[in-house]
Amino acid sequence: MFKWLHPLAKPETLYHFCGRLFPWLMLSAVGILLFGNLWGLLFAPQDYQQFDTVRIIYIHVPSALLSMSTYTMMAIAAFIALVWQVKVAQWSVLAIAPIGAVFTAISLLTGMAWGKPMWGTWWEWDARLTSQLILLFLYLGVIALYGAFSDRQTGGKVASLLAIIGIVNIPIIHFSVEWWNTLHQGASITKFDTPSVHPSMLWPLLISLLGFYLLMLALVCLRLRTAILENEQHRPWVRATLGGH
């Protein structure tokens, strides 16, 4: 696997690799996401307690899961960047951060729109909601810290350090519904047991989740390409690739 993985640490190879993957990821992401969401909106049944509001699940749960797995991905890249000093790992931390921040914002906003009719409040300072808000601030912190240094390398290192430290928040978010009394319901898919969601709702949910995943990977590919070009713009291969003279 490392024989296959190792050449991708070279910016030029990774740039072309991401470029080949991007169109496939983007097209399948849009198709699968729309298919999953429309299935959820049109064909999935109502919930016997939550009625039609349960249809928010097809965007709320995927965005919330993605906000956490995107963060984990960013923290792994940050670790690789700090320990092995891999340049492209450093750039990917900053390429990933804004994408994760948007997914986190979506999970919070859709949660609010679901909370108002079902819990009677837009917001409550409860464990799950608060720890998810902290996740948003961690993403914004990584972006802001990087921007706060005039030297890109120093900024990248400090931002990576914050990304790694912030990983403690991920298990806190996941287990918050068990450790504390919260308004938020417990896990029904990501538990070590058979999922307690009926297939008629589980399938559109899993398809929507796959759509969100592919979209995240597509956008990471795209932003990583931009980051590679920006950082390598003085190298001859960039000039050759972008049609220079």
In whole angstroms, the minimum distance from the beta carbon of 33 to another protein comes to 8
- Asked if 107 and 60 touch (Cβ cutoff 8 Å), the reply is yes
- Asked if 124 and 183 touch (Cβ cutoff 8 Å), the reply is yes
CB nearer another protein, residue 164 or residue 228: 228
CB nearer another protein, residue 5 or residue 242: 242
CB nearer another protein, residue 166 or residue 204: 204
CB nearer another protein, residue 128 or residue 223: 223
Beta-carbon contacts of residue 119 (< 8 Å; ≥ 6 apart): 183
Q: Which residues bind another protein (CB under 8 A)?
A: 37, 41-46, 51-53, 55-56, 59-60, 63, 98-99, 102, 105-106, 109-110, 113-114, 116-117, 215, 219, 222-223, 225-226, 229-230, 233, 238-239, 242, 244-245
- Asked if 33 and 212 touch (Cβ cutoff 8 Å), the reply is yes
CB nearer another protein, residue 178 or residue 230: 230
- The distance from CA 65 to its chain's CA centroid, rounded to whole angstroms, is 8
CB nearer another protein, residue 143 or residue 167: 143
CB nearer another protein, residue 82 or residue 213: 213
Distance separating alpha carbons of residues 78 and 76, to the nearest angstrom: 5
- Asked if 134 and 71 touch (Cβ cutoff 8 Å), the reply is no
From 84, 76, 217, 74, select the one nearest 143 (Cα to Cα). 74
Burial of residue 94 (CB within 10 Å: 0-12, 13-18, 19+) is buried
In whole angstroms, the minimum distance from the beta carbon of 164 to another protein comes to 24
Amino acid at 41: L
In whole angstroms, the minimum distance from the beta carbon of 165 to another protein comes to 26
End-to-end CA distance of the chain: 37
In whole angstroms, the minimum distance from the beta carbon of 168 to another protein comes to 27
Q: Using alpha carbons only, how large is the chain's radius of gyration in Å?
A: 20
Amino acid at 63: S
